Amino acid sequence: MTKVNREESFEERFKATHGMTIAEWNAKLEEKFKAEIGITPDEWVINRYRSLTPVEILKEYGVISEADVTLVKDLQRIGLNDGVINVLLEYVTIVNGLGFVHSLVLELGKNWLEKDIVTIEKAVDYMREEQRRYKESAES
């Protein structure tokens, strides 16, 4: 069993174990993905959000209720398009994991509109940035 040096950062331990940085590792995975699938992981994600309806996204996570369908309609009513709603629903699912609090998700949707998050690309970037901030705050 390898002894872990707690004074080294995770990045340093990763490089010692794998012979490359995390960024290099991720770049290799992206190259492999593109070679196998024909598009980048980001293109795949964006295509997925474009091609599925919010109800289909919700079904991927299990049974959906009438309240969930109402939530989607409310998000559409305030002006979000289906692709952005898809990103929002997955964002809430990943962060919360407990289901949807209708009023909270609707407020998040309004907040995204105020921040001009009206495209799938902007929504994905925002979701990633929020996850990065959360991870950094949890580590400190």
* 3 lies in some domain: no
* Cα distance between residue 71 and residue 89, in whole Å: 10
- Residue that the structure tokens 């629903």 belong to: 89
Q: What is the pLDDT of residue 7?
A: 78
Q: What is the pLDDT of residue 62?
A: 83
> Do residues 27 and 71 both lie within one domain?
no
> Do residues 72 and 21 both lie within one domain?
no
DSSP state of 90: H
> Do residues 69 and 53 both lie within one domain?
yes
Which distant-in-sequence residues (6+ apart) come within 8 Å of 118 by Cβ? 79, 80, 81, 84, 112
* 83 lies in some domain: yes
Least confident of 45-49, 90-94, 99-103, 128-132: 99-103
Number of structural domains (the chain) is 2
> Do residues 19 and 45 both lie within one domain?
no
* 1 lies in some domain: no
| Domain of residue 131, residue span | 40-139
Query: Is residue 97 predicted with pLDDT exceeding 70?
Result: no
C-alpha dihedral over 106, 112, 113, 114, to 10 degrees?
110
pTM beyond cutoff 0.75:
yes
> Do residues 34 and 92 both lie within one domain?
no
